[in-house]
Amino acid sequence: MAEISEETLKKAEEFKLTANDHFGKQKYALAIDFYSKAIELNSKNAVYLSNRAFAYAKLEQYGAALQDASAAIDVDPKYIKAYYRRGSANLLLGKYKEALKDFKKVVGILPKNAEAQEKFKQCEKIVRQMAFESAIATEDEKPLSETLDVESISVESSYDGPHLMDGKVDLSFVQQLVAHLKAQKKLHTKYLYQILIEMKKLLCKLPSLIDIEVPEGNSFSVCGDTHGQYYDLLNIFEINGQPSIENPYLCESQMSTRKLIPPVNGDYVDRGSFSLELVLTLFAYKLLYPDHVHLMRGNHETINMNRMYGFEGEVTQKYSKKCFDLFTEVFNWLPLSACLNKKVIIVHGGLFSKDGVKLDDMRKISRNRQPPDEGLMCELLWSDPSPFPGRSPNKRGVGVAFGPDVTHKFLKDNNLQMVVRSHEVKEEGYLVEADGKLVTVFSAPNYCDSVGNKGALIRFDSQMNPKYVQFTAVPHPAIKPMAYASNYNMFMK
């Protein structure tokens, strides 16, 4: 390799400083651009690569973060921050054994570093827990939902929240529940168990792709990620109209009206610190109107994500680990996609690593499990669109990046007109791509109280013409996002 001139080294360092400034302002995409410019001038600087890995991780592009951290280690095998950041990326990808190796390396060199020790112990605990669960698991073991003795749980006279009558959800219960949760009060454990058990019974009867009909003259609304931002969800109901007979979202026929909450396209939980309240409200509405409330699974309705981003910690703190395990059972049965009027397909992540996938293939996906690392289920939850033709590795490290041509071919093969997906924060709350054939909708405004983005929903008429409705964040109680999450800081002091 030719020697780099002093002038070039100086320019690379200027790019790094500019990138650091953007990073400090949480403008991570711009930071990546300037780190990349620095790397183009000096590809043998481990700091540039490691810093870009950190920025990629902030955008949840853990595959790219892993690649950069590994490249930094190749450049400088003694650069300890790179091991820390690679370990963090592996941890966030659910690659716990690989993460453990990196953190072991870090604590071996820096035995007194508290952050490294915490990460090492965290990984070690997870690996041991997984080994223990694998050792005690049996094929004929009954799920928790079938062994819980809910009826034996008593409701204390001091409890001042809503009561389920005969275990059934009615409109009065839902209205009281929303008011109770909005006031930061807990639903009784007995009723929480009953709702989750009934939700599982309801969801397991559904196919992995649900078909929805929007009658002539009516409209249908679609929301994207809400990520535990409960008070913003309630604001959506205010903006789009409260579900009621007087204000229907969908008419079942010209003779009668039925109610519909906008279908929420996965990622109800994690990050925001009111995930439990949000998902519980949606589940209650689903039980109230089972044919007119539609909920799909996102990549965050999974154990790995819940473990790192807060939902497991939130449920365990507010209720118990048993409650979290029951939520996991329910999440496993959430449908993976929906089709509106045989024209618009709704998925959380995106499309596939191969051509020729038909809607029937999506209907037949066996979903009662944690998502695998590849295949249709994984790609529905994790893939992202790319502006470039064809397919390429996804920067998240999971799923695939698919170009506009892939979108067009999938739509043509299945006689559809549009793909709606979520999975990515967008400054305006939505982004239209692929010549208008693909739209990303994101419904968590000012994501994590820091991004400053708008939220959006899509309102389709019966001809599947979209109208985009934007909104801004509303105040919430003073509990910060990620309050219940694992500490996964990728920076070492």
> Do 251 and 118 fall into the same domain?
no
Instruction: Determine the 3-state secondary structure of 431 from DSSP.
Output: strand
What share of residues in the chain are helix, strand, coil (percent, to 5)?
A: 45, 10, 45
Cα-based distances in Å from 419 to 241, 370, 381, 476: 25, 24, 14, 32
Q: Are residues 452 and 315 in the same domain?
A: yes
Residues 67 and 213 in one domain: no
CATH number at residue 360: 3.60.21.10
Q: Is residue 109 a part of any domain in this protein? A: yes
* 348 falls within a domain: yes
The pLDDT value recorded for residue 100 is 93
Looking at residue 10, which CATH number applies to its domain?
Answer: 1.25.40.10
| Contact predicate 430/413, CB 8 Å | no
Residues 78 and 216 in one domain: no
- pLDDT for the residue 469: 95
| Residue 300 annotated among the catalytic residues of the structure | yes
397 is a domain residue: yes
Which of the residues 300, 348, 423, 476 is marked catalytic?
300
- At residue 6, the pLDDT reads 93
155, part of any domain: no
**Domain match, 261 and 386 both:** yes
Among candidate residues 136, 162, 181, the one where a domain is terminated: 136
Residues 395 and 256 in one domain: yes
67 found inside a domain: yes
Same domain, 212 and 81: no
Domain assignment present for residue 303? The answer is yes
Q: What is the pLDDT of residue 130?
A: 82
Sign of the dihedral defined by the CA atoms of residues 316, 319, 320, 321, in that order:
negative
Neighbours of 146 (CB within 10 A): 9
Return the closest-CA partner of residue 15 out of 33, 3, 2, 29.
33
Domain check: are 341 and 424 in the same one? yes
Order of strands, sheet of 466-471, starting from the edge strand that comes earlier in the sequence: 295-296, 264-265, 219-223, 455-461, 466-471
In this structure, the answer to whether residues 125 and 226 fall within a common structural domain is: no
**How much is the pLDDT for 114?**
86
284 in Cβ contact with 195 (< 8 Å): yes
- Per-residue confidence (pLDDT) for residue 292, from 0 to 100: 81
Residues 112 and 247 in one domain: no
Single out the residue in 83, 106, 136 at which a domain terminates.
136
Structural domain contains residue 144? no
Q: How many domains does the chain have?
A: 2
Range of the domain at 305: 204-471
**What is the signed CA dihedral for 433, 231, 60, 348, rounded to 10 degrees?**
-50
**Where does a domain end: 136, 162, 177?**
136
- Both tokens of residue 477? 């109680």
Question: Which residues of the chain have a pLDDT value below 50?
Answer: 244-262, 490-493
Assess if residue 212 is contained within a domain. Answer: yes
Same domain, residue pair 227 and 125: no
Strand 400-402 and strand 391-393: the pairing is antiparallel
For residues 228 and 344, state if they share a domain: yes
Predicted model pTM = 0.90
Q: Which residue has the tokens 């999971």?
A: 398
**CA distances in angstroms from 118 to 111, 179, 233, 418, 486, listed in the order given:** 11, 39, 35, 46, 10
